[in-house]
Amino acid sequence: MKKVSVIIPVYNVEEYLEECMESVIHQTLKEIEILCVNDGSTDHSQQILEQYAKKDDRIRIISQKNGGYGKAMNCGLDAATGEYIGIVEPDDYVPLNMYEDLYRKAKEQNLDFVKADFYRFVTAENGNKELYYNHLSLNPEDYNHVFNPSETSDAIRFIMNTWSGIYRRDFLEQYKIRHHETPGASFQDNGFWFQTFIYAKRAMILDTPYYMNRRDNPNSSVNNREKVYCINQEYDYIKDILMRDEALWNRFRHVYWFKKYHNYLGTLWRIAEEYRYEYLMRFSEELKRGIALGDVNPDTFTKKTWNNIERIVQDPEHYYKMCVYPRTINQQVFEQITKLEEENQELRQEIKKIRSSKTFRVGKLLLGAPSLLKKKLRGGR
């Protein structure tokens, strides 16, 4: 049995895929299998995968019609044979010692899952990567010891991601933990996170950053301003899972609403301006229902957050006018300034290119010749 099955869901990522694959095939932990699920890519992703598969027999390519992230991930999970499961997004990459370190810790402590801090990064114009350290928890005491997520109150405040760690495959199979399959949707890792959170008994987070999460891929779902209600669909799916067991729902409904509120608020600022009013109105109605049912209460949130919830619920029109609309205008102005700065930079580069061209130098010499001749003639007198 392989120690770790690394699942890479691939869809039209030819620009970044080689960097991702290089980081996985050169892991110091050699006993891994690499499951690349090509979700109907229309670029050269398939060809890139085939080139790597020829060189490394640990790579298995699974090709399917485009069915979305959730279906691609579930396909990889169904095919996996490793003791633990790792996930790498195809536009990200991982340091070479990541899976060896995580696997060692998971085995030492018999963990259902182990996660670690990570970096977000963007690539600057000069090609250098600008790194931003992300802590899973803001409390240092949460790190480096075994805990039960569902019995640890602070755990609901940990950053939600699925790729910064590894999961024991037997644990995932025992509780039938899979991703939500909705073609064209996004944020389908939220449901997976919730299931691991509520069912795991032994977990750990590490204060060492490993995973490298790209934030400058324009095709990433976090940058797609047209995907308005995908997060709502995901939280409907999560609620369906929790409500299969009344005791489970009663135990985790406050966790559910804590994460739902923060994800909805993030969506409000991510989506395009023309959708924000409608989204806020729906957000307000859902919060009202949650409060009426006793699922949303101030004990779960900070005082500042609860004040914001009350403003959204009591007068969403006023909240839009005072908080959303001004921010929308500022964002539009900022985007216009950014666009002008980019255009200005392009013009500067064009001027620089022209000034350094042979044609410009010859033209400058010819245009300057008459005045130079006049100066010499005056000097001769």
The pLDDT value recorded for residue 221 is: 57
Are β-strands 84-87 and 59-64 bridged in parallel, bridged antiparallel, or unpaired? unpaired
Q: Which DSSP string do the residues of 283-325 spell out, in sequence order?
A: HHHHHHHHHHTTSS-GGGS-HHHHHHHHHHHH-HHHHIIIIIH
Q: What is the pLDDT of residues 22-63, one digit of tens each?
A: 999 999 999 999 999 999 999 999 999 999 999 999 999 999
Report d(CA 115, CA 113) in Å as an integer: 7
Q: What is the pLDDT of residues 188-210, one digit of tens each?
A: 889 999 999 999 999 999 999 99
Residues in the chain, total = 381
What's the CATH fold of domain 1-224? Spore Coat Polysaccharide Biosynthesis Protein SpsA; Chain A (3.90.550)
Report d(CA 190, CA 194) in Å as an integer: 6
CB neighbours (10 Å) of residue 82?
A: 21
Q: What is the pLDDT of residues 316-342, one digit of tens each?
A: 999 999 999 876 554 454 445 445 555
Mean pLDDT of 141-148: 98
Nearest Cα residue to 121 out of 89, 78, 155: 89
Domain ranges of the chain: 1-224, 228-314, 329-380
Enumerate residues 6+ apart whose C-beta is below 8 A from 85: 4, 5, 7, 77, 166, 167, 168, 169, 172
Mean pLDDT of 50-78: 97
Q: What is the pLDDT of residues 224-274, one digit of tens each?
A: 566 789 999 999 999 999 999 999 999 999 999 999 999 999 999 988 889
- pTM summary value: 0.82
